[in-house]
């Protein structure tokens, strides 16, 4: 009896395999995952893609980890923060009723997701927080 051929890896499986390899590499490197270098990699992408008079991105440090703080300029309020951990970029909102938290392992895709999140939800935040 002939064995059925294995199905080709899907795009999803390929992305998961790629992310797993990056995570394994980050965990096995002598110095581990460099979150500062990861933030330095994503910072110029943020400034270029989300150039706005409404928002500022500043480097911050909360005693445990380096982060990029997303500040709404008009209200001087922190909307959330970005940090890098174990090969992934994380956005955590200070306003869960407006902005969803998310994680992505690709810096360009992460910035695009942040762009879409802020573009979609910032108008409601601004109307309700005048």
pLDDT in tens, 67-119: 999 999 999 999 999 999 878 899 999 999 999 999 998 899 999 999 999 99
Whole-number average pLDDT of the chain: 85
- The pLDDT-based confidence of 6 (bands split at 50, 70, 90) is low
Higher pLDDT, 79 or 16: 79
Q: Strand pairing partners for 66?
A: 61
Domain boundaries, the chain: 34-128
């Amino acid at each position: 009896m002939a064995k059925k051929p294995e199905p080709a890896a899907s795009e999803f499986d390929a992305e998961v395999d790629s992310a797993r390899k990056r995570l394994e590499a980050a965990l096995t490197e002598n110095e581990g995952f460099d979150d500062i270098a990861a933030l330095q990699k994503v910072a110029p992408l943020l400034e270029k893609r989300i150039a706005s008079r409404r928002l500022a991105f500043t480097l911050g440090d909360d005693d445990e980890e380096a982060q990029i703080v997303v500040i709404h300029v008009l209200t001087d309020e922190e909307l959330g923060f970005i940090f890098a951990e174990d090969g992934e970029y994380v956005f955590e909102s200070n306003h869960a009723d407006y902005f969803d938290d998310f994680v992505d392992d690709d810096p360009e895709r992460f910035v695009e997701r942040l762009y879409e999140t802020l573009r979609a939800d910032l108008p409601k935040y601004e109307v309700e927080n005048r």
